[in-house]
Amino acid sequence: MTIVFWALVAFATVSALFMAWSLGANSNSPPFAPAIGANAVSTMRAAFLIGILAAAGALTQGGAISETVGAALIDGVTITPLAATSGLLVAAAFMTFGVYSGYPVPAAFATTGAMVGVGLSLGGDPAFDTYRRIGTFWLLVPPVSGGLAYVTATLLRRDDVPDTVGVPLLAGVVAGILAHVRLGVIPHPVRDQGSVADAVAVAVGGPAVGGVSVVSAVVTVLFAAIGFWLIRRRTQASVENGIRTFLLVLGSVVAFSSGGSQVGLATGPLENLYGVELGLPGIALLGVGATGILAGAWMGAPRLLQATSREYAQLGLRRSIAALVPGFIIAQAAITLGIPISFNNIIISGVIGGGLAAGSAGVSRRKIGVTLGFWLITLVTSIAIGFGLYRAISTVLGIA
């Protein structure tokens, strides 16, 4: 390995750190935006928690999406260190613009577009099957997230559904899903990541009904019952304090999920470099991404947190909960399927859906329209810029 190779490795790693920093400041911020908008937590405290939780999620859940970004977006070629660096620089530039402009730029759009662009510039073929799968998921996110948030917020506002029942039920649903959250620290006989329910089912054994382990189902019900009971106790003592507690716990869970779903956007382009050419374990690359996300959240998140929490909709505690529940569900589904997603897309759709539950007065239509425009522009221009930047750099350096 030559000096030039190691220089490219260093430059690519720095680029990944820069991208991860941008993710920590931009895409990992929205999970706590509803909590800040509802005055349940301060901006600076939210930024601190986001950094810790998102970094932990990156280390334990980031592998699946990292592999998709690194190997499944282009057929016929392997992403080189120079190509990876070019794509990361393009994506990070978009993300940094979003941080300082106050408009949330979708990380998944920027990174996917940039890596498709550099892959095409390398001479690769479009991976149309992957694009269909990712595109379908992206198109479903706004209506699913906004719809679930709208329905949940409407139910929470009903006079015939007491908060001491409705909020604990939502807590039980979230806790039941947590039993099936896949983590890299939990082994699984088939997959790279296992869940608590999987681990208990494998350890205990037992029969399966309709392909579903009875033990796994029991663990799910147990988790749900504990979640229901804990929040039920809090809401019975004080409804407002109980709701605030659940909102903070929910924001924490979503922030953790955001790290797992977003870190692959920074580390994916370096999968071949770190895993094949350098022979390092996957945790080493995820550690690079987690470090960048932690720094970005602490240094750059407050600005975007304020923009997202206060400008899209003036939400109360109940509608804020409604905005976060679909965020958690969709993020975990994306991690399970290995699909890169924009957390801005998910949370903003949920914020809007929750806001519409009380009428459209609290939602800035102009802000929504401008944001949608930025999303489309990001996807298209990142492909073109990624293609052109790699072609220009490789020509200057004389690299085929």
Give per-residue pLDDT as tens, 144-202.
988 888 888 888 877 788 888 889 999 999 999 999 998 888 877 777 778 898 889 88
What is the rounded CA–CA span in Å between residue 378 and residue 358? 31
Q: What is the per-residue pLDDT across 323-371, written as a single tens digit (0 to 9) for each?
A: 788 889 998 999 988 899 887 778 778 777 777 766 654 556 676 777 7
Closest CA to 264 of 14, 103, 32, 58: 58
Report the pLDDT value the prediction gives residue 292, as an integer from 0 to 100: 92
Output the average pLDDT for the chain. Answer: 84
- Residues 219, 200: contact at Cβ < 8 Å? yes
What is the rounded CA–CA span in Å between residue 173 and residue 313? 25
Geometric angle at alpha carbon 82, from 78 and 83, rounded to 5°: 50
First-to-last C-alpha distance (Å) of the chain: 18
What is the rounded CA–CA span in Å between residue 376 and residue 258? 22
Q: What is the per-residue pLDDT across 293-329, written as a single tens digit (0 to 9) for each?
A: 999 888 877 777 766 666 544 566 777 788 788 889 9
**Which pair of structure tokens corresponds to residue 256?**
């953790």
- Give the residue, 144 or 208, on which the prediction is more confident: 144
CA atoms 161, 165, 171, 177: torsion sign: negative
Report the pLDDT value the prediction gives residue 361, as an integer from 0 to 100: 47
Helix ranges, the chain (H): 3-25, 33-37, 43-61, 63-71, 81-101, 107-121, 128-156, 163-178, 196-204, 214-237, 239-267, 271-272, 282-311, 317-337, 343-356, 365-397
